[in-house]
Structure 1
Amino acid sequence: MIQVVLATHNAHKVEELRRILGDALTGIELIGYDGPEPVEDGDTFEANALIKARAAALHTGLPALADDSGISVAALGGAPGIHSARYAGNRDDTENLELLLANLAEQDDRAATFDCAAAFVDGEYEHVERGIWPGTVLREATGAGGFGYDPIFKPDGLSVSSAELRADEKNAISHRARAFGQIMPVVRKRLLG
């Protein structure tokens, strides 16, 4: 069993990714990260994911996976984008969501994407994939599941917010599932041959 560290201190995120990846983890043990958090000063989701993966790989000596994600709204020029987690100035999901709704109050164009960059670092080897989940921003929050912007994001082709999806439904189609679904064949080839 080859250990791969996931560059997050959030045990729930490790479990979520284990559920998303399922059989793609055969032969791989995904473990949490206990090292220092790097400064995420990249200007793209890809850059920030690589910063986190590099830090985890350097600290642990293990191959590392990391992701950076957020919501990008067309009418706001792609904002909040990489600033999604601290859009309202701190890491408060409710305040971030309310600020986004306020900034879109007069907008008819509510097209948005959930974006996720997944990065893999193994020594000098680096690879990044991007998953994009298109949708629209609702005018009010609905649903009790998920977190972050899920209650106001309606994926294209669905009639409910991502917060109204069951965890297994969301995990099958989300931006994170798309990004990691694309990167895992690369990880498996690199580590397992």
Structure 2
Amino acid sequence: MELCFATNNQHKLDEVSARLGDAFTLKTLRDIGCTDELPETSGTISGNSRQKADYVWTHFGVSCFADDSGLEVDALNGEPGVDSAFYSGSRDSEKNIQKLQNNLATETNRKARFITVFTLVLHGVEHQFKGSIEGVIIAESRGTGGFGYDPVFQPDGYNRTFAEMSMEEKGAISHRAQALVKMIAYLKEQIK
């Protein structure tokens, strides 16, 4: 089965393609000729995921899936949330982390969670799949792997950040992995 993953993020493509397996042929936006900036204006993680998948289906007629993710920090009333990628006003991860640390400087509650919502549009029918993982924001960045907030997010039950884990280890427990497992299980039911 051919599916387009509606993203230009190479890290996400690598993470997802490693889990999809041989039953699916993963196409990129470039593969289907989409060079458009996909809309992300809904104000919610699930809404942004839906907008991107619907855009690809509507404009290219290709079964696809899209995701949107965010980091929610309890002491910041859920910030950065849907604005995680642009929290500092740019896509610069170091600047986003710095703003997060500045905003948490006087806080003792550093509980946080990553959330991902995948929207699958399969032959025009939409389905959503959610994953989340609880953890804490540590005071100093650690690790060189991963991307985004991974150097400061330490999942509950671990003494390492996402950035200190291998792609395989992170991929086994992450918010994206949880949502993806649900979506893949659904897709496998469809091709039986």
Match of 1:27 in 2: 23
Tell me: CA distance 1:12–1:74, structure 2 relative to 1, closer, same or farther (3 Å): closer
State how far apart, in whole Å, the 2-side matches of 1:12 and 1:153 are: 17
Q: Secondary structure at the match of 1:95?
A: helix
The 5-angstrom pairing of residues 2-21 of structure 1 reads 2-19=1-18, 21=19
Q: Secondary structure at the match of 1:42?
A: coil
Q: Secondary structure at the match of 1:128?
A: strand
If the length of structure 1 is used for normalisation, what is the TM-score? 0.92
Structure 1, unmatched stretches of 5+, are none
Instruction: Return the structure number with greater helix share.
Output: 1
Aligned pair 1:120/2:120, yes or no? Answer: yes
If the length of structure 2 is used for normalisation, what is the TM-score? 0.93
Structure 2, unmatched stretches of 5+, are none
State how far apart, in whole Å, the 2-side matches of 1:121 and 1:60 are: 12
1:5–1:57 Cα contact (<8 Å) kept? no
1:72–1:81 Cα contact (<8 Å) kept? yes
1:11–1:32 Cα contact (<8 Å) kept? no
State how far apart, in whole Å, the 2-side matches of 1:5 and 1:60 are: 10
Percent identity, please. 37
Match of 1:177 in 2: 177
State how far apart, in whole Å, the 1-side matches of 2:10 and 2:87 are: 23
State how far apart, in whole Å, the 2-side matches of 1:12 and 1:151 are: 15
Q: Deviations over 1:172-191 (max 9, x none)?
A: 1111000111111222323x
1:153–1:162 Cα contact (<8 Å) kept? yes
- CA RMSD of the aligned region, Å? 1.3
Structure 1 stretches of 4+ moved >6 Å: none
